[in-house]
Amino acid sequence: MTTQEESSRPRWLRRWIWGIALVSACCVGAAGVLVQLLMDQSDDDDTDVVTGSGCGNNVPVDPDADLPPVAALSDVQVHNAAVIIAVGQEMEMPVKGWVVAIATAMQETNLRNLANPAYPASLQLPNDGEGYDHDSVGLFQQRPASGWGAVEELMDPATAAQKFYEKLQTVDGWEDMSLTVAAQRVQVSAYPFAYQKHEPKATEIVNTLTGGGSRVPAVNVELGDCAPPGELSAAGWIVPVEGPIWSGFRTAARPNHQGVDIGAPKGTPVVAASSGTVITSECNAFAPDGSPYSCDIDGSPAIAGCGWYVNILHADDRLTRYCHFESRPLVKEGDVVQAGQVIGHVGSSGRSSGPHLHYEVHLNGDRSAAGAVDPVAFMNNVGAALG
């Protein structure tokens, strides 16, 4: 993400500064003063990665049982989320559907069952407060006048969730869509892109209430089996390329290595690890004398930079970086990409001793070393284990 200070700089200067950052932090290993100059003063608590293990169990979620707490949510909100999951289990909906449904309810009502004065009868039914969005009622803000059902039905969270899932089932290929596209096909909202930002929290809720259920393949109905490489997880993530990890994150030998190196043959397709927007797609390579170096030829340890590389910004300002492509990336700045979409091919451009993908994960939209987190831990947590 570009800060206000950065946006006031000329574009060529911003590119030069980020080029120096990649040379220093990504590839040279001598972090030095330049990286420090680029580091945002992020809150340490925001850069922690919550790791988890397990891929759920098939015990039905009971909304009336003692439920585990979820950070920043009230007992009422957790109860409503549990209702959504329980209905999804009963209907044998793929787990990704639970994540989509919870994210939708978060956007529409913050997981509250809202009555609406436009329907006085709704005020007499069990509710978590009042809403005033046209004539919408309930957990998903469904409109009786638009054919969603009677007020009494839509004010019942279980029935409202059932109706959401039934509509989702009519959307062809929803399992392969980004969360916001799938949700919008059901809700037809005036804010079609608003749902995506809730995917991380919805994933956390599903994991908390099911013991890691969002780490199974997106199309799975049952829990327990983690998503294998090459399959999209219910959390919306996929391994960018299959292969062994040759070099880890900030190892003793390479303390300034801000990602992991995944070995793969030259020309192997690299995919977007999750849906998002491309914010960088360019060549980053410099000769020993500091002059620009071609990314269309193999680099070497003497060359600095990531070579052909891509940055993708995802929901909740999570950022992924893909370096050393064989040739110009298949995506350009501003492109919206889907999880699993091919964005380039494994190569050895920039500072590289052989074909591999250098892969990074950053939080808070912070491209610098300050925002980098261990990709192995992060990807394990979203059901897309590396290596």
Whole-number pLDDT of residue 326: 98
Contact 38, 13 (CB under 8 A): no
Q: Report helix angle 75-90 to 95-109, nearest 10.
A: 140
Q: What is the pLDDT of residues 90-136, one digit of tens each?
A: 999 999 999 999 999 999 999 999 999 999 999 999 999 999 988 99
- Banded pLDDT at 175 (limits 50, 70, 90): very high
Count of other CB atoms within 10 angstroms of residue 178: 23
Count of other CB atoms within 10 angstroms of residue 383: 31
Give CA–CA dist 47/54, Å, rounded: 23
Mean pLDDT of the chain: 89
Whole-number pLDDT of residue 289: 97
Contact 179, 196 (CB under 8 A): yes
The answer to whether residue 14 scores a pLDDT higher than 90 is no
Q: What is the pLDDT of residues 267-302, one digit of tens each?
A: 999 999 999 999 999 999 999 999 999 999 999 999
The answer to whether residue 337 scores a pLDDT higher than 80 is yes
Residues 6+ apart with CB under 8 A from 353: 300, 301
> Exposed e or buried b for every residue in 144-169, given b needs 16+ CB within 10 A?
beeebbebebbbbbbbbbbbbbebbe
Strand partners of residue 347: 356
233 φ, ψ (degrees, to nearest 5): -80, 165
In the chain the domains, ranked by start, together with CATH numbers, are: 4-49+236-381 (2.70.70.10), 75-215 (no CATH)
